[in-house]
Amino acid sequence: MRKLTSFAAGLLFGMGLLLSGMTNPAKVIGFLDLAGAWDPSLALVMVGAIATAVLPFTWAKARTRSLLDAPMQLPAKRELDGRLIGGSLLFGVGWGVAGICPGPSIAMLLRGHWQVVVFVLAMLAGMLLFSALERRRAC
């Protein structure tokens, strides 16, 4: 049941990304171009996503187990640190340069553009590098 639920959630998320235009790099770059021809439509998508998530997150904070009886795992850390700020900057720069966000990049693989394949491979390499550095840091 958990795998089916995960698949359904991923499918719903992917469809939302496609419908909102998040898989269109030109639309994303238009959203990020605050000094030029700014396209605010993705801001509306983000506001809608936040509004939709408020009630489920409020409900989740009050529980110790999920609906499928798995342990509730919400982030506990609330303070800003150099790693969070650095990672956010790296994410934002990559998003702005490529016009591709990690979530939509997976949905964009279906289009078969080589640029998306390169982006996803670079993203996976970054994840592997991060994991290796984290393991080394823990020792």
**Angstrom distance (rounded) from CA 45 to CA 16:** 9
Tell me whether residue 92 is exposed, middle or buried, using C-beta atoms within 10 angstroms of its C-beta: 0 to 12, 13 to 18, 19 or more. Answer: exposed
On average, the pLDDT of the chain sits at 87
For the residues 9-18, what does the mean pLDDT come to?
Answer: 85
- Does residue 71 come out as left (phi exceeding 0), alpha (psi in the -120 to 50 range) or beta? beta
Report, as an integer, the average pLDDT of 57-85. 88
**Domain carrying residue 108:** 2-138
List of residues 6+ apart from 104 with CB closer than 8 A: 17, 22, 23
Q: Tokens representing 85?
A: 């700020």
* pLDDT at residue 58 in the model: 92
pTM of the model: 0.67
Q: Which residue has the higher pLDDT, 80 or 28?
A: 80
* Residue 90 to residue 94: CA distance in whole angstroms: 6
CB 113 within 8 A of CB 121: no
Whether the per-residue pLDDT at 132 is higher than 90: the answer is yes
Q: What is the arithmetic mean of pLDDT over 110-128?
A: 88
Identify the band that residue 33 occupies on the pLDDT scale cut at 50, 70 and 90: confident
pLDDT at 51 > cutoff 90? yes
Q: What percent of the chain has pLDDT over 70?
A: 100
- Short-list 85, 86, 104, CA closest to 95: 104
Using pLDDT thresholds of 50, 70 and 90, give the confidence band for residue 69: confident
pLDDT score of 70:
86
CA of residue 14 relative to chain centroid, distance: 11
| Residue recorded with tokens 């998320």 | 13
Count structural domains, the chain.
1
pLDDT value for 16:
84
